[in-house]
Structure 1
Amino acid sequence: MRKNNLVKLLAVIVVVPLFLVGCSKNQEKITIVGSSALQPLIEQAGNDYHLAHMSSNIVVQGGGSGTGLSQVQAGAVEVGTSDVFAATQKGIDAAELKDYPVAVVGIVPIANKGVGVKDLSTQQLAAIFTGKVKNWRQVGGKNLPIIVINRSRGSGTRTTFEDLILSGKEAVNSQEQDSNGTVKKIVSTTPGTISYISFPYANDQNIQKLSLNGVRPDNQNIPANKWPLWSYEHMYTKGKPNKATAAFIKYVLGKKVQQDLVPKIGYLSIHEMKVARDSQNNITQIGK
């Protein structure tokens, strides 16, 4: 009798690990790498999707748009996320990639609350980031040196900001950071600092969001391009995605995410836009 019980116990010990291995093999792993601006939306969408599809395993990482595009092109990940069009990036063959624009995100200049400035002209902002203006007093603020914090090269947010504000001028040498969250923390705690972050990260009362030319940085001003600092958020796959990846992208583009989650986190649905922007930053009216 004892021998039979021992045999049954051993059988359970062997079967359980095999069952667990089988479950792990059946998990539909999707690795998504790239834009830190899009990361909050994809992380939350991935968590929600997993609750309804328990076999899914969605891993979301930052690293910047350049990293996302290069990784998906190399076939190292299922999805590369980007704030910029793949066609604008050196070393990326956009013809190999399939583009899924999933949202629009605003970008806002931010400063430490002690600088004494709440609004800048586009020209003043460009002068600060090219090093021509070095003290806040020169733009109506306090007598305080300006410390520029830039995003790292390869950041889609930086590319968009420089394309739209600097118009080809060289940015001043400055400290560089690779994530929106780190930039926000530095600006909130370091006197004289200025930088820029995407709207979903700009919910901290310890930073000063700067208006541009008297226009407030909010989502209501983006659809008609009244607030010009915005970009599409792209999910790229290398050619046709596999079944699991296609299903998740379809979920992100669906009603639940676009109408509920996108605005909740601070983005705009692409369906709200009244204008379109191409890879050369040309603006056209939608429907014309």
Structure 2
Amino acid sequence: MIHLKAFTHNTIKNILVKTLFLLLLLSAFVFISFRFSVIIDPLNINKDENRQRYTLTSTGSTSMSRLLNVLGEKFSENYNGDYLYEKSETGSGAAINEVINGNYNLGDISRYLTPEEESKKIKKNIIAYDAVVVIVNKRNPIENLSLQEIADIFTRKINNWQIFTNENVKITTIGREEASGTREAFRNAFYTPKKLKAEIELPESGDIVSRVASDKDAIGFVSYPSVNNNNVRILKINGIECNNVNLKNRLYPIIRPFIQVYNDNNYIIEKWFEFIKSDKAKEIIENEKLIPVI
């Protein structure tokens, strides 16, 4: 009877030890698996560990910032905050290299790609079309210029308003900096051997609008959505007004794409471009004075 008790006690003890060991092993496996799933990002997208959210990042064109920030906010709302969108501004010229180097998921370019950029193994999507408009101060009576007249002004062949207004005053030309997609789109609209260049170069379209609004003799080129100042006038070009009808029908002379480039497709980027094609996104694009991609 004593021997039976000892046997039963030892057996139970062994069972308990083995059970405890298996439970500890299982717990360790679950913990390691959980940590691995949190730390490792199989989609190569930044992930917020606390909220379990993915952050899609883009950099490049400043002209695209307003649109992308609005779209990014609605994109996040569309997926209940599981995905976030962060936009940085480095200019169109830097966008592709930033993506190739793995610093950002998307690169924002507000012009057509150059042949050299096209040769790089990178994917692209056009998300909208924008107009580059020419603006003058509201006190300037000019309402229309031809493409040739604009080219002559920005190559300094014409440097005085007298030819247009009978007022003998020097024209002040204002434009964007070298890395700007707006600047390249503006230049590419003109077939002239001499490069168009403004006397004063500013980093953003909004800066140009403000400068022209305060200078009666200034003329500048900017992204259409950035014109929100009553003290400037958008000029007709070749007699064609910049409005939604003329933009949709591609009648306005200076139209450029908003492009996003990326290295490798993945689930989150696919979701982003699916959202861009949605009716909700198209409505946002139109509200921003842009043309959706049909």
Query: Considering the TM-score relative to the shorter chain, is it more than 0.5?
Result: yes
Q: Which residue of 1 aligns with 2:293?
A: 270
Is 2:273 the counterpart of 1:246?
no
Which of residues 37, 52, 58 in structure 1 aligns to 2:63? 37
DSSP 3-state at the match of 2:189: helix
Alpha-carbon distance in structure 2 between the residues aligned to 1:113 and 1:70: 40
Cα offset, 1:52, TM superposition:
2.9
Which of residues 112, 120, 125 in structure 2 aligns to 1:100? 125
Alpha-carbon distance in structure 2 between the residues aligned to 1:102 and 1:168: 31
DSSP 3-state at the match of 2:259: strand
Structure 1 segment 200-239 matched on structure 2, within 5 A: 200-238=225-263
Q: Supply the AA of the counterpart residue of 1:161.
A: F
Q: Contact conserved, 1:117 with 1:141, CA < 8 A, in 2?
A: no
Is 2:189 the counterpart of 1:164?
yes
Q: Supply the AA of the counterpart residue of 1:30.
A: L
CA RMSD of aligned residues (A): 2.1
Q: Which residue of 2 aligns with 1:124?
A: 149
Q: Give structure 1 regions of 4+ aligned residues with deviation exceeding 3 angstroms.
A: 92-95
The sequence identity of aligned pairs, in percent, is: 22
Alpha-carbon distance in structure 1 between the residues aligned to 2:166 and 2:63: 29
Q: Contact conserved, 1:109 with 1:194, CA < 8 A, in 2?
A: yes
Alpha-carbon distance in structure 1 between the residues aligned to 2:72 and 2:198: 37
Q: Supply the AA of the counterpart residue of 1:191.
A: K
1:17-52 per-residue CA deviation (whole Å, 9 max, x = no partner) reads xxxx8325x321111111222221111010111223
Q: Supply the AA of the counterpart residue of 1:261.
A: I
Alpha-carbon distance in structure 1 between the residues aligned to 2:243 and 2:192: 23
DSSP 3-state at the match of 1:100: strand
Alpha-carbon distance in structure 2 between the residues aligned to 1:158 and 1:126: 13
TM-score by length of 2: 0.78
Q: Supply the AA of the counterpart residue of 1:269.
A: P
Cα offset, 1:136, TM superposition:
1.2
Cα offset, 1:141, TM superposition:
5.7
TM-score by length of 1: 0.79
DSSP 3-state at the match of 2:190: helix
Alpha-carbon distance in structure 2 between the residues aligned to 1:170 and 1:52: 45
